[in-house]
């Protein structure tokens, strides 16, 4: 077995993390602009005002993609750059549209396929001010659908791959339960002045599911017939193994934990079904219900692919005490080591990520068998141990990252062997960038960014990626990949 000969691969980024130019050419503020300027800082003193200055240096970044041999590039649009006030009756910002047209045309000129994410966490601040943003289920759907329409109309003649949302779990939980991401609402986080962690994440989750469905149904009905593209969604979620493999309750805990992350969104989005039963059982009437009309909307929002953002695996251990009202993980303990003290994988440069390709293989197979859609890996990557303290010269010799990619490519081949369809892969990320509330310390990029000069320097992993993929595409011809 090998990677398919038409395997589509490349790198991924997100608008707020790289663009900068936040006050230029009519762009309006997003909730992340507001959040990164709070005092005292909640983002380690970092903001996206300049970020990697991709807004002015995009040609250089497209040249990097070409140099690395990428076939595709996944990037997100800034909603407030395109519609500064965000709403369905608000004006479109033509300079913002022009920027993305230049980006798309620059990719196509280099034979790189654009993959657009409509929403990667940066809600226009005006919508949050106007009606509380994602906390307003009815209004947010209407505005997101109009935003999607503008994007399909302006870019869909050339863009054939659409992702509605990136990681709605993170938006819901980090933004409205833990309060560590914009808009920073929480009743459990002492830094937050407002919010209700027991109810708001579930309301926001429903808003995101239905907004996604409106955008997908719109594409299917009005744009796909003439533009011929595909639409999907990118969902996050670790893979979970039982902490004690001999304990049935830990097997149940591992499955429940995955239902509380991927199942929460995938069951409605891919199966047009209610939330997973364990969520309904634990959360009761705090989990909003879907009406018959909403189920009909979900059925009309058929998706072409499942976008998987995968970084690591964990062990899940059942709890015997009842779930607190703030719990959002299914009343389990998450552990990096099992009951025998065996680590799930080699630690990386960030506390929550260990390299666990064996979990990746199982996750790909599980998701494919459950939802029966081709699985595109829309994010996968890591920072090297200690990389946040490294010089440029040290960072570019990213041996840990090279091994991480190599092992995860082999896991994809294993998953294909096990019956999954995995036609494409995007490494996170093209360049070191603003890692949200972590600031600029974490380096997930395959390109080193000097934040003083903004000079880009390819890391060894970036230059080796094409060869790693080619070797595995040719494995069949060479008698299998070792």
Q: Which residues are catalytically annotated?
A: 167, 379
Assess contact for 46 and 448: CB atoms under 8 A: no
Listed in order, strand segments (DSSP E) in 326-446 are 332-335, 346-347, 354-355, 375-379, 424-428
Phi and psi dihedrals of 150, rounded to 5? -60, -45
- Non-local CB neighbours of 362 within 8 Å, separated by 6+ positions: 239
Assess contact for 422 and 373: CB atoms under 8 A: no
Q: For 415, how many CA atoms within 13 A lie in the half-sphere containing its CB?
A: 30
**Gap between the Cα atoms of 264 and 275, Å rounded:** 5
* CA dihedral for 128, 269, 264, 357, sign (positive or negative): negative
**Gap between the Cα atoms of 159 and 229, Å rounded:** 7
For 228, the token pair is 């011929």
Assess contact for 430 and 368: CB atoms under 8 A: no
Burial label for 107, CB within 10 Å (0-12, 13-18, 19+), is: buried
Assess contact for 470 and 4: CB atoms under 8 A: no
For 403, the token pair is 């091994």
Assess contact for 383 and 444: CB atoms under 8 A: yes
Our measurement of the distance from residue 219's CA atom to the centroid of its chain's CA atoms, rounded to an integer in Å, reads: 21
């Amino acid at each position: 077995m090998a990677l398919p000969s038409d395997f589509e691969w490349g790198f991924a980024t997100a608008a707020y993390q790289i663009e900068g130019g936040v006050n230029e050419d009519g762009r309006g503020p997003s909730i992340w602009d507001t959040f990164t300027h709070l005092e005292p800082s909640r983002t380690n003193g970092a903001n996206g005002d300049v970020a990697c200055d991709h807004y002015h240096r995009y040609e250089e970044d497209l040249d990097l993609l070409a140099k690395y041999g990428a076939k595709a590039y996944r990037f997100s649009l800034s909603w407030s750059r395109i519609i500064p006030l965000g709403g369905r009756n608000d004006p479109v910002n033509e300079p913002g549209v022009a920027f993305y047209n230049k980006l798309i045309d620059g990719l196509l000129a280099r034979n790189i396929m654009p993959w657009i994410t409509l929403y990667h966490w940066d809600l226009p601040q005006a919508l949050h001010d106007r009606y509380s943003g994602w906390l307003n289920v009815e209004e947010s759907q209407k505005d997101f659908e109009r935003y999607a329409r503008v994007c399909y109309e302006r870019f869909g003649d050339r863009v054939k791959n659409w992702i509605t949302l990136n990681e709605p779990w993170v938006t819901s939980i980090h933004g409205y339960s833990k309060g560590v991401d914009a808009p920073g609402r929480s009743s459990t986080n002492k830094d937050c002045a407002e919010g209700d962690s027991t109810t708001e994440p579930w309301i926001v989750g429903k808003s995101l599911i239905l907004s996604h469905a409106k955008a997908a149904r719109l594409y299917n009905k009005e744009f796909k017939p003439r533009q011929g593209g595909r639409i999907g969604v990118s969902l996050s979620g670790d893979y979970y193994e039982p902490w004690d493999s001999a304990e049935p309750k830990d097997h149940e805990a591992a499955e429940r934990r995955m239902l509380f992350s991927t199942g929460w969104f995938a069951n409605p989005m891919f199966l047009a079904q209610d939330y997973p039963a364990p969520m309904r059982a634990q959360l009761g009437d705090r989990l909003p219900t879907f009406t018959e009309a909403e189920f009909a909307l979900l059925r009309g929002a058929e998706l072409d692919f499942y976008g998987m953002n995968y970084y690591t695996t964990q062990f899940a251990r059942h709890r015997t005490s009842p779930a607190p009202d703030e719990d959002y993980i299914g009343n389990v303990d998450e552990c990096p080591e099992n009951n025998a003290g065996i680590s799930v994988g080699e630690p990386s440069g960030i506390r929550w990520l260990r390299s666990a390709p064996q979990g990746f293989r199982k996750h790909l197979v599980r998701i494919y068998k459950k939802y029966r859609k081709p699985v595109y890996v829309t994010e996968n990557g890591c920072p090297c141990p200690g990389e946040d303290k490294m010089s440029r010269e040290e960072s570019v010799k990213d041996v840990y990252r090279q091994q991480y990619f190599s092992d995860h490519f082999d896991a994809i081949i294993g998953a294909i062997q096990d019956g999954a369809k995995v036609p494409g892969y995007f490494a996170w990320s093209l360049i070191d960038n603003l890692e949200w509330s972590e600031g600029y310390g974490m380096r997930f990029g395959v390109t080193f960014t000097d934040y003083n000069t903004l000079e880009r320097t390819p890391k060894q992993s970036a230059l080796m990626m094409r060869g790693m993929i080619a070797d595995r595409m040719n494995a069949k011809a060479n008698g299998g990949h070792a």
